[in-house]
Structure 1
Amino acid sequence: MPDLSALAWVVLAVAAVIVGISKTAVPGAGTVAVALFAAALPAKQSTGTLLLLLITADVFAILTYRRHANWGTLLRLIPAVIVGVGLGVVFLAVADDAWVKRVIGVILLVVIAITLLRRRAQGAIAEPGRRGPHRIAAATYGTLGGFTTMVANAGGPVMSMYFLAMRFPVKEFLGTAAWFFAIVNLAKVPFSVGLGLITGPGLLVDLVLVPAVVAGALGGRWLAGRLNQGVFERLVIAFTVIGAVYLLF
């Protein structure tokens, strides 16, 4: 077991609760958990430790929203996500922690700006009959999402902006995100083991934090049923901006 202070354990426990909530209620909040883990643990260990907790929370998200996924959207994303994950593996092998954080922060802020501008201009990605924008958006967001989720478990904000731009209702948003990240996170495990991100001490930390993830997931399920569409979208955007600014500075 890593020798952590009481404060570090509190920070990790709070982050674990946020992981659960982010999977079943407010996806953008996941970036806050990324930041807290990076503050409490060494950078590489934090990435691998958090990944396994994310997978635990993915199980609860799928059980809750498994019938609400938009599979057409998920299938369009697959090729781009594979490319993004591959680029992320290469980037992790050559970049240091500072560059990783700054690059992801810039990407997230650009994605937020583009998404909000598109919505304001009424050029929604999901406009009926416009298949071109669908393909372009899937390629762009899918590549960025695969890259950011591989290098820092920070793909949530990128994909949240895509699903938000698709104008999914709350449950369809959460169901599509649940299946997306369950599949992608499982696919990341072999790469994370190979890069030394998943370690024995990290597994022990995960065992201690799993109950906090479960509590957050159950609390998030209760919260999601009481959020209206407008509040949900504002929360997603707000947490995405907070996470992006933290990673950048």
Structure 2
Amino acid sequence: MLELFGYSLSYFSVALLFLVAFFIGMAKTGVHNISMFAVPLLAIMFGGKSSSGLMLPMLIMADLFAVKYYHRDANWGYLLKLFPSAAVGVLVGTWLGNAVDDQVFRSAMSVIIFASLVIMLWIEKGDKAAIPDYIWFALLMGLLGGITTMIGNLAGSVMAVYLLSMRLPKNEYIGTAAWFFLAINLFKVPFHVFSWQSIDVNSFLLNLICLPFIALGAWCGIWLVKRIREKHYRWMVIGMTGVASILMLF
């Protein structure tokens, strides 16, 4: 066992933690929803709410890499539609997180991911214009994104539904998602620190030793996305969402 900043972790757990950091780095630079493999791994090791707080600083570190590389590709028209209701969703998610236990927490995450998968498949295989670019849809997705990112750092699936339905090109999809998550993740920090108390000095120090693996994952994500075609990229996002929904059941 290793004693790291107040955490007693086996060597295997430390290896899994670094793998989680690597996945998060890849996810933020374009291999979207691979971070969903990280969510159940951390939940198993640290518990639902604690794992959510432990993951948040890693997500912000990875967001900074993504924004640095893709900052010119964001579609700010969509972002401005999403931000207000997403902030409300974070407030709702904070309340929900205080009202449910870890098992309900994980079950809710699984249902959310699976529902997002069904919607994405419906959009992809059905009428390409079935989801209109209406403000009500953006507000709904922003609200759900805020709730899911707060209760489990799972807004990636919700944002995938929205951004894929808008038929954004690959780099514009990644750049828009990068700015959205950087802003909303920074907004979440005070709620984790003061309401949930899931972030403290020890958890942040544990995050810092993961930074090299986040950076490596970010670089690998950029390298991989450059080599994936637009159509294949969309199906990669959908496929990873499906696997993640199954993992959360266990």
TM range (shorter): over 0.9
Q: Distance in 2 between matches of 1:107 and 1:53?
A: 22
Percent same amino acid among aligned pairs? Answer: 37
Aligned residues of 2:119 and 2:161 also touching (Cα < 8 A): no
Counterpart of 1:44 in 2: which secondary structure? helix
Query: What does residue 63 of structure 1 align with?
Result: 68
Asked if residue 109 in structure 1 is aligned to residue 109 in structure 2, the reply is no
In structure 1, give the amino acid aligned to 2:166: M
Q: Distance in 1 between matches of 2:21 and 2:75?
A: 27
1:134 CA drift (Å): 2.3
Q: Distance in 1 between matches of 2:49 and 2:108?
A: 16
Q: Distance in 2 between matches of 1:177 and 1:140?
A: 16
Counterpart of 1:73 in 2: which secondary structure? helix
Q: Distance in 1 between matches of 2:113 and 2:44?
A: 20
1:125 CA drift (Å): 6.0
Q: Distance in 2 between matches of 1:216 and 1:118?
A: 29
Aligned residues of 1:125 and 1:166 also touching (Cα < 8 A): no
Counterpart of 2:167 in 1: which secondary structure? coil
Counterpart of 2:202 in 1: which secondary structure? helix
Deviates more, 1:234-243 or 1:133-142: 133-142
Aligned residues of 2:64 and 2:182 also touching (Cα < 8 A): yes
Matches within 5 A, 1:25-44: 25-44=30-49
Matches within 5 A, 1:89-128: 89-124=94-129
Query: What does residue 190 of structure 2 align with?
Result: 190
Aligned residues of 1:163 and 1:173 also touching (Cα < 8 A): yes
Q: Relative contact order (C-alpha < 8 Å, sep 6+): which is higher?
A: 1
* Structure 1 residues 213 and 125: alpha-carbon distance in aligned structure 2, compared to 1, 3 A threshold: farther
Deviates more, 1:150-159 or 1:30-39: 30-39
Aligned residues of 2:48 and 2:106 also touching (Cα < 8 A): no
Matches within 5 A, 1:129-208: 133-194=133-194, 195-208=196-209
Q: Distance in 1 between matches of 2:113 and 2:134?
A: 20
Q: TM-score, normalised by structure 1?
A: 0.93
Query: What does residue 232 of structure 2 align with?
Result: 231
Aligned residues of 1:48 and 1:197 also touching (Cα < 8 A): yes
1:206 CA drift (Å): 0.8
Asked if residue 18 in structure 1 is aligned to residue 23 in structure 2, the reply is yes
Query: What does residue 77 of structure 2 align with?
Result: 72
Matches within 5 A, 1:205-216: 205-216=206-217
**Number of residue pairs matched by the alignment:** 244
Aligned residues of 2:33 and 2:240 also touching (Cα < 8 A): yes
Aligned residues of 1:27 and 1:236 also touching (Cα < 8 A): yes
Q: Distance in 2 between matches of 1:53 and 1:225?
A: 24
Unaligned runs of 5+ in 1: none
Unaligned runs of 5+ in 2: none
- Provide the aligned C-alpha RMSD in A: 1.5
